[in-house]
Structure 1
């Protein structure tokens, strides 16, 4: 989005105009003088919001993956499904690639996103050492577009529509937790302010060097 240089110049992501970086107040946008694109902005209490969202997301991640999403009742038999069971069922059926993709994009990557953001926000908010802050920031930015819980949820909803006439379905706590988790991850993406976070990470590193 924004390219930093040693001279504290930034490049507009729309017209590539090089501009000297200036400080801005919370809630104030910095606008490109050539094309009027928003270069960056400062979010009020952005770190605290990310900390709350990532912590709440990790809390919801547990029931979303441990509690049943759906319970099917057919001919007196009950069968409950969780995300991991869905992947294992596909694996047992010979669909190894699809099972791996579900494990990766519906479980592993969302968990890594939440952990990375929790580490970043905790380190900046509480002033911890945070030696891996830059690596965590890079990792989160690379993983942002790869979590696909909403695609999995869409597949579950399609299954509900197709199975409702042939089996008795009960929506489990896992499905509600999954929906709430998707909402939180979406809010995390909206609240995430890379320019402000990179500035605070650099400031945090400078403060840490002073005390070393």
Structure 2
């Protein structure tokens, strides 16, 4: 099981639940021809989907259309239930760049049949995660640049200020359903520009000015 390394957290802290937020940027919602949600759209990934900087996304044989979705990831640092939104950011120990890898063809078929997205989102290697930086290094998590380039060509570049549901609201909302625990991750949603990946691609993703980054390949 993957571990987290972050000042202020136990050295043996393991990644817990991986909560992911879908459709959290309006232009991304529109590019996939979906409706803007009235409340956060939540799905889960298994911890086995995590890979780190320098590793590789493995394209599964079950899919012919795997997409990248760059995201800011919030790391929970202490337990909480029914957390007030005004206090929510105090429960975040750090942030990282992440990629929600999605088998788009499998997801589309699931949506057409009103089935869950777990298979489309949960393959091994489908949650690349960069180094976690302490939350105090981000003056405002709602004003930070996200960028992803494939083979040195920028495909996604946007700012977290465009989130429909900001981080504090996501922490509050999730905590009304789940008890959040240290080591839990929140993938906060992707901006516009998602597109297919091919074997041999090289990906670079960054949060802010290199605060957290990922350099990975596709196999």
User: What TM-score do you get using the length of structure 1 for normalisation?
Assistant: 0.20
Return the structure number with greater relative CO, CA threshold 8 A, min gap 6: 2
User: What TM-score do you get using the length of structure 2 for normalisation?
Assistant: 0.20
